[in-house]
Chains A and B, each alone.
Chain A
Amino acid sequence: MAVDRLLPTTEAYDLLDLVREIAAEQLAPRAAVDEASATFPRDVFRLLGEAGLLSLPFDEEDGGGGQPYEVYLQMLEEIATAWVSVGVDVSVHSLASLAMSVHGTDEQRMRWLPSMLGGDQLGAYALSEPQAGSDVAAIATRAVRDGDEYVVTGTKAWVSHGPHADFMLLFARTGDDPRGGLSAFHIPIGAGGLEPGAGSLSFGAPERKMGMTASTTSLVMFDDARIPADHRLGDEGDGMRIALSALDSGRLGIAACATGLAQAALDQAVGYASQRRQFGRPIAEFEGLQFMLADMAAAVETARSQYVYAGRLRDAGRPFSRQASIAKLTASDAAMRVTTDAVQVLGGYGYTRDFPAERYMREAKVTQIFEGTNQIQRLVIARDLLRQSGL
């Protein structure tokens, strides 16, 4: 069922109509098939790019759509309702582009942003490593200065759509201080950038994941890769700050995607419960089931309210880090609970691959894990509370 949204402008309503149309016609019909065969739908991102949907929240001078986060996030939610892997990959692309838009010099932004945001490129975000997940300060990949270049060696892990990316935001160590020794780099891939397969850049086999299989996740290996020094974003040592500030925004994207996924599971559960008959009537007439559906709806709408609120804080230029973590925590927990309950509403059929409920449930799990596990979100929230109380 179409979600009734409060949007700030008439063009935002038209935009959301467009997103729903594309989602219904181009995403939803393919999701189950491509997820089952673990096919990354590169063409879908071209289509979204042509429609201008890969650059909405960026400045118009940089080639973006100049749309507020509150609108961008609701677009993501609609995409995720149709196909959550695509929503997550759009969010990762925004995350990968955000550092350039916020921390790039005028020269860097003019040089790269128009093509990064042009719609035909897709960006990846390479922060995690096999031994550095929650503990970002454990990053071991090194970038050693050599004249006008950095020489990068190391292994990044879990990089979403890495093998399909046209550019990558890379975090690597330029100094020994665990937190203060990290730096950020813009890495163009392919023509004019690092050529995959040439030895200095290679990708691991796709991880064999429980869900979101259409979104390829893999290791990225750098071996003496030469990166021109003018590809560094910010100063040496700014890496941690850049990574964390981008993640605040990225978490809102994940919250929106988790909400969309939960909405899809709720829609499916309501539809099924009205059709399925037991004891001579639709199961939706049983109060025990109605209460479950009501709780699911309450969880979905609470999740939506929280991410929209945090997005509005961001749009207003106010601090939003704690609210973003709360949004990510509550929306991903809501998605897990609602998708699990959707399987329950469908009974035995829900447990089969003939209905999307079980896929939604598998997909929901990872929203509690990536872009900061929900334990890490609690750390962020608690630290912010304690900082405010002077501790």
Chain B
Amino acid sequence: MKIVVCVKFAPDSTAPRKFSSDDTVDRVSVDGILSELDENAVEEALKIRESAASDAEVVVLTMGPEQARTAITKTLQMGADAGVHVVDDAIHGSDSIASSRVLAAALERTGFDLAVCGMASTDGGMSVVPAMLAERLGVPQLTMASEVKVDGTAVTIRRDGEVATETVEATMPLVLSVTDAANEPRYPSFKGIMAAKKKPVEELTLGDLGVDAGEVGSAAAWTTVESIEERPARTAGTIVTDDGTGADQLVAFLAERKFV
């Protein structure tokens, strides 16, 4: 069984977000890390490999700048077997439609039984890439799994929605995305750090994937970020003293700001 985990290199979400001059997220001068929610995807893949009846391989796929290599390294230290890094200057500024085009091409090239994604990236956070991948690849999608069971080629997930909990099943090959409730990601270990140094990482360009540079990047994006403003610093709050009219004052406060 071949499991390919899609992971994103994202700016550290605990650090302040910076933007480049073209209004794209600055991914070069800031500390980037493996998008935290994708650690759950890696963990799930490793668990599936560990419990698989036959040999299973976990390959990690990322699309991102040179520095994104650190995200791959971290997953190899956690225990993944190999990495694929799509890196090409033309990709800069791609929207999710273009991102999924590139990732789908890479998945077709590596081949997969199971493509595992996180629930959302910690920067873009649209949660659309997994569905787009399934559509482009023509395979079933099992998204937002908070529990995953694999039995041969059958995969069953629990999907906790706001009004109902669904059980969804599909047969491989398929795209799976897992939530942060699915598991507790393991830490790398010292042995993992040493072993990672010897694991193969393949670098691919758009040319290698047969994707035309005109299909991706800012120019091809369906949406454009026109301007960016920092959220204004929080101003002093309003303290409502409850002299019997507290509830009315609260309602008035919210109504004035069109929250109710």
Contacts and interface: CB of A to CB of B under 8 A. Distances in A.
A and B are partners in one complex rather than unrelated chains: yes
A230 interface: no
Contact of B187 (A10, A11, A22): A22
B121 interface: no
A11 B189 contact: no
Contacts of B73: 14
Contacts of A14: 73, 77, 188, 193, 196
Nearest to B77: A14
A67 B196 CA distance: 16
A38 B209 CA distance: 59
A52 B190 CA distance: 5
Interface string A180-197: 000000000000000000
Interface of A: 10-11, 14-15, 18, 21-22, 47, 50-53, 56, 65, 67
B79 to A, nearest CB: 12
A51 B188 contact: yes
Name the 5 nearest CB pairs between A and B, nearest first: A52-B190, A52-B189, A51-B189, A14-B193, A65-B190
Interface residues of B, number: 11
A288 B189 CA distance: 45
Contact of A21 (B187, B189, B190, B194): B187
A125 B49 CA distance: 41
B47 interface: no
Interface of B: 73, 77, 187-191, 193-194, 196-197
Question: Main SS of chain A's interface residues?
Answer: helix
Given A14-B73, A14-B77, A56 B190 contact: yes
Question: Main SS of chain B's interface residues?
Answer: helix
Given A11-B194, A18-B193, A51-B188, 15 more contacts: A11-B193, A14-B73, A14-B193, A15-B190, A18-B187, A22-B187, A47-B187, A50-B189, A51-B187, A51-B189, A52-B189, A53-B190, A56-B190, A65-B190, A67-B190
A123 B4 CA distance: 41
Contacts of A47: 187
A280 B188 CA distance: 47
Contacts of B196: 14
A190 B189 CA distance: 27
Contacts of B191: 52
A75 to B, nearest CB: 10
A67 B77 CA distance: 17
A15 B193 contact: yes
Contacts of B189: 18, 50-52
A135 to B, nearest CB: 39
A21 B190 CA distance: 13
A53 B191 CA distance: 10
A18 B188 contact: yes
